[in-house]
């Protein structure tokens, strides 16, 4: 645990879990989308739903979706900024099964028409967890460059991805595999020590049996 | 791996001749593979952010719930009218603690230290003291490393989260961290630093986390004042040579065990304590509409 997790972070109040964590969820979701968001359906669960308004959780999530970080002083004005940028959003309450009390489900549409569904939880402090991507299980914090690959549950795809990473000298920190049923939809989540190049992502996207590739880069967008 | 006991830091300080802050900072450098310059730079950013938050207080702001705002300014006025019992220095501390808590509730930028709800305690005592005694920047950064070292041990042995340990874990920890920093600023040694932390934490043991409507507003904002005052009193006691009869690490362990048995309605659920009073419930119901 870093000393700067104790003294810090610098954030916009009032709550590290309800505000800073919520911004982070929005921010990571936008990064995972990889492009500007056109519309967002935001479903608040548990304590996010009951005390989110007073904690600015709603404004925090929208701020994150616009690309703001937890210390951005424009967070309270995010609804107005979203209107200016042409991003539409709506809020609903939801009762998610087996979800952490501070959770949110996001259904996002990007400017190119790309769609992304995220379920994420704010765990306390400003730590967060992405729990689902497009309905399939996932489990990562956004602290590492993270590659999420949706593929058909067939032999060979894990090797394709890992050999590509090895070829590019990218070290895998953690790796998780999920599938809905044998031979069905599968997802692999790889947290890496190095960034993965856009060309490598593109190469993966074109492989047969790979349905969707989502990448979380920690580098700033140009 | 950060330190797991305050005793370790004190004995390392004694054997190496290095001050408490330096031992805490060097552990951070090792642990996160950063240089001395980067560690100091990061802390400088936090200090600057605390100062900016203090300076940017806006008395006209209200929190989204409309429950909080403008009270820090009332203390300023009372202080200027010389109508407060605590004297001008403590008046300034009180004013800063409330203002920071209010800024947090009003969605302004603050430094969580250790949490957003307890963000007023450390800046209230440190910034007020710096202004009064012209402490240089380098020493202020060192004092913040003292707060961090104490906080890390508390987080490791117990918790700094209200949801896990009650408000003793937030305001109590902030108060212990601030007390240690004040002892350091007054040139106390590592022993006195941890004694002050123990005295501060001991006095806030059992403090429940009972936010009305679950919001970081009532009673959180004003509890920052008690955390700050308690820190100063504890620092004074330690500097006068008073020791905690219960060793500091054992006090932290006691906090953990109290948190463990504390009923869940008193741990940030917004159900018990002042949140469960008829008025607390009425406010929560009104906000739901």
Is A143 part of the contact surface with chain B (CB cutoff 8 Å)?
no
Q: State whether the Cα torsion B187-B192-B193-B197 is positive or negative.
A: negative
Among the partner-chain residues A50, A73, A126, the one whose CB lies closest to the CB of B214 is: A50
CB B154 within 8 A of CB B252: yes
Domain with CATH 3.30.70.260 in chain A: 146-216
Chain A neighbors of B32, CB-CB under 8 A: 2
The C-alpha of A168 sits at a distance from chain B's nearest C-alpha, in angstroms, of 25
Is A16 part of the contact surface with chain B (CB cutoff 8 Å)?
yes
| Residue B2 confidence (pLDDT) | 80
Q: Pairing relation of β-strands A37-45 and A88-94?
A: parallel
Q: For the stretch A125-148, what's the b/e string if a residue is b when 16 or more beta carbons lie within 10 angstroms of its beta carbon? A: bbbbbbbbbbebebebebebbbbb
Q: Do A6 and B151 touch (CB under 8 A)?
A: yes
Is A15 part of the contact surface with chain B (CB cutoff 8 Å)?
yes
The C-alpha of A155 sits at a distance from chain B's nearest C-alpha, in angstroms, of 39
Return the number of CB contacts < 8 Å for A and B: 132
On average, the pLDDT of chain A sits at: 94
The CA–CA distances, whole Å, from A23 to A60, A156, B58, B117 equal 5, 37, 23, 17
Confidence check: pLDDT of A222 > 70:
no
Residue A219 binned pLDDT confidence (cut-offs 50, 70, 90): confident
Chain B neighbors of A73, CB-CB under 8 A: 108-109
Chain A residue with the nearest C-alpha to that of B156: A1
Q: A 20-49 residues with CB below 8 A of B?
A: 20, 47
Among the partner-chain residues A1, A51, A56, the one whose CB lies closest to the CB of B156 is: A1
| Residue B1 confidence (pLDDT) | 65
Domain with CATH 3.30.1330.90 in chain A: 3-133
The mean pLDDT of A174-196, rounded to a whole number, is 94
| Residue A221 confidence (pLDDT) | 55
Q: Do A3 and B24 touch (CB under 8 A)?
A: yes
CA distance B184 to B238: 11
Residue ranges of chain B with pLDDT lower than 70? Answer: 1
Q: Do A3 and B155 touch (CB under 8 A)?
A: no
| Residue A15 confidence (pLDDT) | 95
Half-sphere exposure of B132 (CA within 13 A, CB side): 15
- Does residue B219 have a cis bond before it (omega within 30 degrees)? yes
Which of B116, B219, B252 should be substituted to probe chain A, the one whose Cβ sees the most A Cβ atoms within 10 Å?
Answer: B116
Q: Which H or E run contains B120? A: none
Q: Do A54 and B156 touch (CB under 8 A)?
A: no
CA distance B10 to B161: 25
Q: Give the residue extent of every domain in chain B.
A: 6-287
Confidence check: pLDDT of A22 > 50:
yes
Chain B residue with the nearest C-alpha to that of A60: B107
Over residues B190-228, the pLDDT tens digits come to 999 999 999 999 999 999 999 999 999 999 999 999 999
Q: For the stretch B138-160, what's the b/e string if a residue is b when 16 or more beta carbons lie within 10 angstroms of its beta carbon? A: eebbbbbbbbbbbbbbbbbbbbb
Chain B neighbors of A124, CB-CB under 8 A: 161, 163-164
Q: Do A124 and B43 touch (CB under 8 A)?
A: no
End-to-end CA distance of chain B: 47
Among the partner-chain residues B112, B151, B161, the one whose CB lies closest to the CB of A9 is: B112
The C-alpha of A124 sits at a distance from chain B's nearest C-alpha, in angstroms, of 8
DSSP 8-state secondary structure symbol assigned to residue B209:
B
Confidence check: pLDDT of A220 > 90:
no
> Which residue, B119, B177, B173, is CA-closest to B145?
B177
Over residues B72-110, the pLDDT tens digits come to 999 999 999 988 999 999 999 999 999 999 999 999 999
Residue A157 binned pLDDT confidence (cut-offs 50, 70, 90): very high
Chain B neighbors of A59, CB-CB under 8 A: 107
CB atoms within 10 A of CB B60: 8
The mean pLDDT of A82-107, rounded to a whole number, is 96
Q: Do B107 and A19 touch (CB under 8 A)?
A: yes
Give the fold, CATH level 3, of A3-133: 60s Ribosomal Protein L30; Chain: A; (3.30.1330)
The C-alpha of B200 sits at a distance from chain A's nearest C-alpha, in angstroms, of 18
- Does residue A116 have a cis bond before it (omega within 30 degrees)? no
Chain B residue with the nearest C-alpha to that of A7: B113
Give the fold, CATH level 3, of A146-216: Alpha-Beta Plaits (3.30.70)
Residue A209 binned pLDDT confidence (cut-offs 50, 70, 90): very high
Coil vs helix vs strand at B93: helix
Among the partner-chain residues A6, A51, A126, the one whose CB lies closest to the CB of B215 is: A51
Chain A neighbors of B217, CB-CB under 8 A: 14, 54
């Amino acid at each position: 645990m870093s000393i700067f997790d104790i003294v810090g972070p610098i954030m916009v109040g009032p709550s590290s879990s309800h505000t800073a964590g919520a911004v982070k969820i929005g921010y990571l979701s936008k990064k995972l989308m990889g492009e500007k968001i056109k519309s967002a359906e935001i479903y608040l669960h548990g304590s996010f739903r009951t005390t989110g308004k007073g904690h600015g959780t709603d404004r925090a999530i929208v701020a994150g979706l616009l690309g703001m970080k937890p210390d951005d002083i424009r967070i309270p004005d995010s609804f107005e900024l979203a209107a200016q940028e042409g991003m539409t959003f709506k809020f609903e309450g939801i009762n998610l099964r087996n979800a952490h009390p501070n959770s949110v489900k996001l259904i996002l549409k990007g400017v190119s028409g790309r769609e992304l569904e995220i379920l994420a939880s704010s765990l306390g402090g400003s730590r967060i967890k992405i729990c689902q991507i497009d309905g399939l299980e996932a489990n990562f914090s956004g602290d590492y460059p993270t590659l999420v690959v949706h593929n058909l549950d067939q032999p060979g795809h894990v090797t394709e991805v890992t050999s590509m990473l090895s070829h590019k000298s990218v070290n895998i920190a953690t790796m998780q595999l999920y599938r809905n049923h044998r031979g069905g939809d599968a997802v692999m989540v790889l947290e890496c020590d190095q960034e993965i190049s856009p060309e490598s992502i593109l190469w993966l996207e074109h492989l047969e049996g790979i349905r969707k590739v989502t990448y979380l880069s920690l580098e700033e967008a140009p | 791996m950060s330190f797991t006991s305050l005793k370790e830091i004190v004995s390392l300080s004694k054997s190496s001749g290095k001050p408490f802050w330096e031992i805490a900072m060097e552990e951070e450098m090792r642990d996160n593979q950063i240089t001395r310059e980067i560690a100091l730079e990061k802390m400088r950013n936090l200090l600057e952010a605390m100062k900016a938050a203090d300076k940017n207080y806006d008395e006209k702001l209200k929190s989204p719930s409309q429950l909080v705002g403008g009270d820090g300014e009332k203390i300023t006025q009372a202080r200027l009218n010389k109508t407060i019992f605590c004297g001008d220095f403590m008046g300034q501390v009180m004013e800063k603690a409330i203002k920071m808590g209010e800024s947090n509730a009003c969605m302004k930028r603050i430094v969580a230290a250790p949490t957003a709800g307890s963000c007023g305690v450390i800046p209230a005592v440190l910034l007020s003291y710096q202004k009064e005694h012209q402490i240089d920047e380098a020493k202020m950064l060192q004092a913040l490393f003292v707060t961090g070292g104490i906080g890390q041990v508390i987080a490791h042995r117990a918790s700094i989260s209200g949801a896990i340990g009650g408000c003793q874990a937030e305001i109590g920890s902030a108060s212990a961290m601030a007390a240690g920093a004040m002892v350091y600023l007054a040139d106390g040694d590592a022993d006195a630093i941890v004694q002050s932390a123990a005295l501060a934490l001991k006095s806030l043991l059992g403090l429940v986390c009972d936010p009305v409507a679950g919001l970081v507003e009532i009673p959180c904002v004003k509890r920052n004042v008690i955390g700050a005052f308690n820190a100063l009193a504890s620092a004074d006691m330690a500097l006068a040579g008073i020791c905690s009869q219960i060793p500091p690490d054992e006090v932290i362990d006691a906090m953990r065990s109290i948190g463990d048995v504390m009923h869940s309605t008193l741990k940030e659920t917004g159900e018990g304590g002042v949140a469960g009073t008829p008025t607390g419930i009425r406010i929560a119901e009104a906000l739901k509409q």
